[in-house]
Every structure is written in structure tokens, then in C-alpha cells.
Structure 1
Amino acid sequence: MRRPAAGQTGVTLQLALRVWHVLDPVRFPSPNLDDYTLVNAVEAVHFRGKTGRTEGTEQEIRAEENLRRLRGVFAGYDCIVALGRSAMTAVEAAGFEALYSGNHPSLQALNRMYESSEKTPAERRADRVAQWARKVMA
């Protein structure tokens, strides 16, 4: 089974984690994404081509079965990062608080939100992700 954020969002999170690791090495002791627990707001994975959306509905997020799942995952963690509206809703509905939160790290959104004057596409992406990662930690 693939973990959440296995695609482009995973690449973005890996870049962001390098920034978070430098800014807060106590809460982010590893720069490796696979050393952290990732969880979606709902268990079912949504694909725009299949369901017309990429996230669970409010009803799916707040379903008691989903909240039980989230409570089980979050139990024992003192650092929860919620990225996106659905993630914030899920964390709060499960009775937890996100230590850090921010917009969902889709590359499209980061490209719209942050300017970069770096030379190559890879450098611009890394720069935009770093800007976003610092904002999440602010």
C-alpha cells in the first residue's frame, strides 16, 4: 500500500522537511519524509478523474468511523502538522490541535502564491517550497 503524499506532494513535503528540520530539529529530528507518519483527512483516496474531487467531503471527514481512525493515529503525538482546510477540519474534529498548519502543498498553489527568481525550474520549486515551509513554521 502506498503512503499518503507519494507523488508530487510527497516531493514537496520532502523539500519542506529539510527546512523544518533546520528550523526545529527537536520536533523534526530527521530530514527524511519516511520517518514521519502521514495521514489523509479521510481513508479513501480521491482522484479527480474518478470522483471529481481530490479530497474527502466534510461529511466523510466528520464521520465517527473516520474520527476514530484519526484519534488512533494521532494518539501519542505532540506535534501535528495540518496542511490544507480538510486536514485542519480533520484534526480539530478528532479533538486535537495542530502545532503547525498551512495551505495544502500542491505545486500549483505554491507556484501561484510564491515568486522566485531562481534560474532553473528545480531551483524555483525548491525556493517556493522553502518560502511556504518557513510560513508554515511562523
Structure 2
Amino acid sequence: MRFNTLAAEIALAYAATIPLAQIAPLAQAACLALFAAILAPAQGEGTPSPAPASDPMPLSRFFTELFSRATSWLHWPPSEVWNASVAEIVTALEAQAERELRLAGIPSDKGKGPEVYTPERLREIEADGIDPAFDRAALQALKARHQ
């Protein structure tokens, strides 16, 4: 699908004549839908990582890095990269990383499920008064941001 610049210019010119309060909800909804489509989670990314969050990366740098890795590490031609979704590229990069780890003889942590709670372990948890699935580090980071 080719982007029609004339249509975009007409739409932007029309939008400039409408009060921002009327067009903002529509624009926000369209932007959120676009980001949801572009940044759909890759395979295995349904839950947040337990690792601490790193510094935020500007979206332009993220896409530059993604394009660079897809063309260099995956050896995809630019036309393939431009026609792939972010999720497809990330999934392919994860698969390539898994292959490299296997070739190097490094065991992968993929496929390890959550902790299995035996009756004994559940009694220990109850006695300790803790929930092992609760992310205390994330709670502390959230509290620190709001103080």
C-alpha cells in the first residue's frame, strides 16, 4: 500500500480548521491503535520481565536499532524489514539468539515454567507470610517514583 501524500495533506489541512478539543480524542485513538499494531508483543512477551527497567529508549532509536539488527544480524534485505511487523522482527531476533546460544553450548532459560508449588512449599510460604510471585522490587520502584 502506497502512502498518498495528497490525501494526507488534505486531511491535515482539514484537521487544522477543527478545534483541538474535538479532534484530540480521535487522534489519540488512532495513535494508540497504530502503536498497538506496531508494538504488539512478540512471542513469549505476554508478561513483563522481572528484570529492572532500563532507561527509556526514544522510539526513533528503537526503530533504528531494530532495522539495523534485522538487516545485519538476520541478513534480511531492507525491503523485507520494512514489510515486517515489529513482533515478527523481534521474534526472529529471539529465535536467532536461541540458535546462537545452542550453538555455543549455553543452556537456554526458555521453556522453564513457573515455580511448582508443592504442598510443603505452600506451607513454607504461608509460614513466612510472603507471596513469591509478588514483585517487591517493582513495588519499591513505583513507590520511589511517587514520593
Q: Using CA pairs below 8 Å that are at least 6 residues apart, which structure has the higher relative contact order? A: 1
Please say whether Structure 1 and Structure 2 have the same fold, judged by a TM-score greater than 0.5: no
Higher strand fraction (1 or 2): 1
TM class, shorter-length: under 0.3
TM-score normalized by structure 2?
Answer: 0.23
TM-score normalized by structure 1?
Answer: 0.24
Higher helix fraction (1 or 2): 2
State which structure, 1 or 2, has the greater radius of gyration over its C-alpha atoms. Answer: 2
